[in-house]
Amino acid sequence: MSTGFRIIKNCCTGGARTGKVFTSHGPVSTPVFAPVGSQATVKTLATLDLERIGTDMILANTYHLYLRPGVEVIEKLGGLHKFMSWPHAILTDSGGYQIFSMEGLRRVDDSGVVFRSHIDGSQHRITPQSAIKYQESLGADIIMVLDECPSPVGKFDFIKRSMERTHLWAEICLDSKKDSDQALFAITQGGLYPELRRRSARVLTSMGFDGYAIGGLSLGEPKQLTMNMVELTVPLLPEEKPRYLMGVGSPEDIIKGVERGIDIFDSALPTQVARRGALFTRRGRINIRNAAYRNVAGPVDSECSCYTCQNYSAGYLHHLLRCREMLGYRLATIHNLSFMQGLMRDIRDAICDGTFNAFRDSFFACYKTSDEAVRISQRKKWRQSRKRRDMNRS
């Protein structure tokens, strides 16, 4: 495979490291945050927007693209890079997370999983073999094994059986994969059980993948537990392979993940909250829809050099989001992703300079994180609204 990984610098205290993942669509500097483009578009943004923000890699969802427009359509149109006019690195997930996070009919056994489309309720079947085949057709630079992704608060026996199935599927995925320029990453599971997390890391690393992800976390469990699982998994992963913490993407969690040795992050959070008006600043999140911003002539963040802050006032953004104008969603997304890319650059620079710990401390001294209780209740509400939507659709 042409995808490789080189560590440039390790932090002398703690696990943080900076490096480069090499792909046939260019190198990706790590730690990296990959914005989510589920339907072959990072919502509201064009290629040029993403490039201006300094994006090296994005994530696309096999589940969504399989349903619409169909993997065969994208293959006919020259693969995912050409389809979405994105010449840089792409990572695709296998579909596991989406299938297992949806409500409604779903049947899983060792050979694969039968699920219903959230669009029209039609029935589909995905297997470890087909998950690899689809991702090969899409042609992403990094592809993922099919995993069973249960709620982390499940009972021990359930999580154990599910983890063992993930291991079985990982082996099938590895065997199914053709020689190609694509890197295949395994996904460690095990819920919130340290014993299972450790076993998953040991079993999967023994198979020899191009990289290792930590999956099944950041699904509503307390953040301290997420980080505990990361802490005990990372030391069991090979140092010379990239480590990917799936679905983690708040600024504070990324810094904590980097500190514990994570190289790759993805999350829809920065783009999703942007569309609701929540914008990142060095002092924490603000909500631009609040009446306080109505008359603000200055930018959202005076220290920010993004297109939004350089050209538009906070008052104008407030107006656009209050009016549900699409430009508002785009300008907010540009701002949040610029913040994320700036954060990742600062993190990499700090690791290179040997000042990561000081950077982390000064970040947290300034950045007001969301209250844990508020966060969990908001997430619950959001998941319930998603459930209602999925049920109405099917």
Binding footprint of a second copy on the chain (CB under 8 A): 39-41, 43-48, 68-69, 73, 76-78, 83-85, 294-295, 297, 307, 311-313, 315-316, 318-320, 322-323, 325-331
Instruction: Tell me whether residue 4 or residue 69 sits nearer to a second copy (CB atom).
Output: 69
Strands 32-35 and 264-267, how do they pair?
A: parallel
Reduced to 3 states (helix: H, G, I; strand: E, B; else coil), residue 116 is strand
Tokens of 44: 């509201």
In angstroms, give the least distance from the CB of 279 to a second copy.
Answer: 17
Q: In the bound complex, what is the minimum distance in angstroms from residue 392's beta carbon to a second copy? A: 15
Cβ pair 122, 116 in contact under 8 A = yes
**Is the Cβ–Cβ distance between 164 and 121 less than 8 Å?**
no
- Decide if 253 is catalytic: no
Rounded to a whole number of angstroms, the minimum distance from the CB of residue 60 to a second copy is 12
Q: Which is nearer to a second copy, 167 or 330 (CB)?
A: 330
Residue 187 to residues 146, 191, 203, 213, 343, Cα–Cα distance (Å): 8, 12, 11, 5, 26
Handedness of CA 241, 247, 249, 255 (dihedral sign): negative
C-beta of 266: minimal distance to a second copy in Å? 19
Identify the active-site residue in 141, 147, 210, 266. Answer: 266
What one-letter code names the amino acid at 199?
A: R
Name every residue whose Cβ is closer than 8 Å to that of residue 290 and which is 6 or more positions away in sequence.
Answer: 318
Q: Which is nearer to a second copy, 207 or 327 (CB)?
A: 327
**Which of 355/385 has CB closer to a second copy?**
385
Q: Which is nearer to a second copy, 17 or 289 (CB)?
A: 289
Q: How far apart are CB 77 and a second copy at their closest, in Å?
A: 5
The catalytic position among 56, 93, 210, 263 is 93
| Residue type, position 153, single letter | V
DSSP assignment of 276-323, as one string? TTEEEETTEEEETTSGGGTT--S-S-TT--SHHHHH--HHHHHHHHHT
Nearer to a second copy, 45 or 187 (CB): 45
Dihedral, 14, 346, 253, 261 alpha carbons, nearest 10: -30
User: Measured between alpha carbons, how far is 68 from 73 in angstroms, rounded to an integer?
Assistant: 9
Q: Which is nearer to a second copy, 40 or 213 (CB)?
A: 40
Distance in Å, CB of 86 to a second copy, minimum: 10
Are the beta carbons of 325 and 307 closer than 8 angstroms? no
- CA–CA distance, 288 with 278 (Å, rounded to integer): 6
Q: At closest approach, how far in Å is the CB of 78 from a second copy?
A: 7
Report CA Rg, the chain.
20
Q: Which two tokens stand for residue 375?
A: 């966060």
Q: Is 266 among the catalytic positions?
A: yes
Q: What is the DSSP letter of 324?
A: T
CA–CA separation, 20 vs 352, rounded Å? Answer: 13
How far, in Å, CA of 263 to CA of 265, rounded?
7
Catalytic residues: 93, 266
